[in-house]
Structure 1
């Protein structure tokens, strides 16, 4: 037998092997994990709350994966650290999109999410549960952004209304000088206008180089009963701690972006009495099914959670429930387009005592807003 004659069966065999490998590869791809991408500040000004937020989400995703995943596939949540830098957030989002993420999830920060938004249109990829209540994510409705939490304007307006109802007529406002700060202050001013009143003072920080000493000096001179701060947890805690070090007893209040155990730890002995607005049910309302469900998961994983449920964990947990439900409804091998489509038709979904809903003309999810006061044990009481 000639060399050429002997090579033909081998060539056919090699071709068969190659075909089988290709077929196996396609089958393996069909069974691949569902890639979900997250960019957030795991280091930097908001690191503590971002870690609690993500832990709440991962506890639920891990539970789903441990019980078979979604339609037989596991969820692979890949989280990248952007250091609370909008440019890095955009770069991370592009990396995750290029890797094939079918959805982005739980971004943190208003300028940071704003930097990601142009990529959503270009890649036709949905962003589920950005951890920011910026109005620009709600109006006009962005076709690829699906919010799970209430707006900053709504919670700031409600916080001012409640502070005024408590008899605090002299309220000062402090904001970071970016889109987040402007958004929260717009809501606060709506609360004042509703009562035909005005803040006693209004001061602004630069986000990158905050002049905390200067703002503290101005606050003490203005002598308000309460200061409502629209800023990151680090800046807010540093300001309150500096006020206390200067002997000031001005009451501190802030928004839900600081509703975390990490914020309490930054405040240390100055935490008690600080008011923090809330956008989810109380973590101690165990009569609410989703609160009880998260509480059970925390108890089962004490090493990760320190055995304590926090408001930030509640937000992450609720957000993950929306994500998982969208993936379930999108069917086997969910595509970006399928996820967007099912979310637009998710008119009422019960998270377990709290409903979210979307339509093509409304991506707000929920308008829940309340306030809590940090007690001497570091708990958020309502």
Structure 2
């Protein structure tokens, strides 16, 4: 009898473990983007925890399994394969970085695994449509174009673009170029630098000599902080602008005394505007979790989690990769809180919202 009871208990535990909906994430929890990765993940977990507290998906809790790829595309692919083949995840989620997402794309096709809400706005993930990638944010090209238009509108004439020499940087420059074309201007300079070992020793003197008025900095937070410090140390007062990959409180910390006045593009509504339903919901959950405030990066993770959960719900029964793919491809005008997300087999863009913020003297994003 004792053996029977033990067997039943073990069987029950196994069934309970099997009932969990495993979601996989590979991202740079250490390295250049660690601050932003932590915040986007915190935002997603807030929503998953709320869903689990209400019984999960058809009684099955969601478990997010996160692996650190140290912001290395090769390691990102290795992590993704482990999550797919060993953890048997239903989906991948919040993968951080353009080359990193590209590195795992072949695995998505090989194992028919959906990737929801990659934390990158690369156009290559939008067009042509990848049948396994579902974006939940605007493109970097849209952000960069918006930034250049804004700088021109406020009278900036000598605008330089400094970008990391990888697929992320190259992609965002296309948007910046479109912005310059739209306002009938040319960039004062376009300079690139190595992602692993950025060197500003030759670039900064050029910026100072040209007396550039603004610099659109396309890079990770740690690199933007390093480059901005080099510019300031050389006496350049140029307006610094960067993209939403740096819309995290951790980026402000990295910038230190140089944070004030930096413009950062955003892809979700103002995180302190409770008039926005998604912001109000996130803010209430954040307070319950003990967070001081909701950052833009947290909003990105939160919104991505909402879309993933809705796809799992619509899949019905026990979620599978195929059910989730089908459900997401039929997600039309789903309201995540004042913003509608739609997908089809010919469009996986999700949202196209782009705005600007500025870092205030209090170390907060302002709009």
Q: TM-score per shorter chain, which class?
A: over 0.9
Task: Give the alignment partner of residue 71 of structure 2, picking from 75, 80, 84.
Answer: 84
Secondary structure in structure 1 of the residue aligned to 2:294: coil
Instruction: Choose which of 306, 327, 337 in structure 2 pairs with 1:352.
Output: 337
**1:287-326 matched pairs, under 5 angstroms:** 287-302=275-290, 305=291, 307-326=292-311
Superposition map of 1:111-260 within 5 A: 111-260=99-248
Instruction: Tell whether the 8 Å contact from 2:205 to 2:234 is kept in structure 1 after alignment.
Output: no
Q: CA deviation at 1:169?
A: 1.2
Q: Per-residue deviation at 1:27?
A: 8.1
How far the C-alpha of 1:246 sits from its partner, in A, is 2.3
Shift of 1:25: 7.0
Match of 1:68 in 2: 55
Checking the alignment, whether the CA contact within 8 Å between 1:30 and 1:333 is kept in structure 2 is no
**How far apart are 1:223 and its partner, in Å?**
1.4
Cross-structure match for 2:44 = 57
Moved >4 Å (runs of 4+): 20-27
Quote the offset at 1:215 in angstroms.
2.1
Q: Partners of 1:148 and 1:185 in 2: how far apart?
A: 21
The offset of 1:22, in angstroms, is 12
Query: In the aligned structure 1, how far is the partner of 2:273 from the partner of 2:10?
Result: 52
How far off its partner does 1:331 sit?
1.1
Per-residue displacement from partner, 1:63-112 (whole Å, max 9, x unpaired)?
11112111100001000000000000000000000120000000000000
Unaligned runs of 5+ in 1: 1-12
> Structure 2 unaligned runs (5+)?
none
Matched, 1:377 2:365: no
Task: Report deviation, 1:370.
Answer: 0.8
Partner of 1:95: 82
With normalisation by structure 2, the TM-score equals 0.95
- What is the deviation of 1:59? 0.7
What SS does the aligned partner of 2:137 have? Answer: coil
Could you list the per-position Cα deviations for residues 186-214 of structure 1 after superposition, in whole angstroms to 9, with x for gaps in the alignment?
A: 00000111122110011111011110233
Indicate conservation of the 8 Å contact 1:31/1:73, yes or no.
no
**3-state SS in 1 of match to 2:280:** helix
- Mapped partners of 2:17, 2:158: distance in 1: 61
- Whole-angstrom CA distance in 1 between matches of 2:223 and 2:203: 11
**Secondary structure at the residue paired with 2:101?**
helix
Find the counterpart in structure 2 of residue 328 from structure 1: 313
1:355 is displaced (CA, Å) by 1.2
Task: After TM superposition, give the deviation of residue 375 of structure 1 in Å.
Answer: 0.6
> 1:237 deviation in Å?
1.0
For 1:63 and 1:213, the matched residues in 2 are separated by 48
Structure number with larger C-alpha Rg:
1
Who is 1:6 aligned against?
A: none
Residues 30 and 329 (structure 1), Cα distance of their counterparts in 2 relative to 1, 3 Å cut: farther
Q: Which of residues 4, 15, 19 in structure 2 aligns to 1:28?
A: 15
Given that 1:147 and 1:364 are in contact with CA atoms closer than 8 Å, whether structure 2 keeps it comes out as yes
Tell me how far apart the structure 2 counterparts of residues 111 and 183 of structure 1 sit (CA, whole Å): 11
| DSSP 3-state at the match of 2:173 | helix
Aligned Cα root-mean-square deviation (Å): 1.9
Post-superposition CA distance 1:233-271 (Å, at most 9, x none):
111111112222222211100000001101100111111
